[in-house]
Amino acid sequence: MEDPLPPNDPGYTPGCTEPDSLDLPDQETRVFCPYCGSEVLVLLDPGGATRQEYVEDCEVCCRPWHLTVSWDRDGHAVVEARTEED
């Protein structure tokens, strides 16, 4: 017989999963600019297509990212930012 882990088990890391946002698709995510390397918050549109490709300018260096956004089954956004050359 194993005892279930207590909810405040020290091995539990809060912040990894937030119960409030568990069922909601990501509305924003952080992307590293492929040009200048800055981490920039990007707003997403989870109500749109499950896979989206569009161009968004970097807030920091203003160069155009080619973004590919998709959502996995858990509602987590998978975002890829590429340069124009790729």
Task: Enumerate binding residues for Zn ion (CB under 5 A).
Answer: 33, 35-36, 58, 60-61
Torsion angle defined by CA atoms of residues 5, 11, 13 and 18, in that order, rounded to the nearest 10 degrees? -10
Choice between 18 and 85, CB closer to Zn ion: 85
Choice between 12 and 32, CB closer to Zn ion: 32
Least Cβ distance, residue 46 to Zn ion (angstroms): 24
Can you tell me the distance from the alpha carbon of 57 to that of 69, in angstroms, rounded to the nearest whole number?
A: 15
DSSP, residue by residue, 25-56: PPSEEEEE-TTT--EEEEE--TTS-SEEEEEE
Choice between 64 and 75, CB closer to Zn ion: 64
Least Cβ distance, residue 13 to Zn ion (angstroms): 31
Least Cβ distance, residue 41 to Zn ion (angstroms): 13
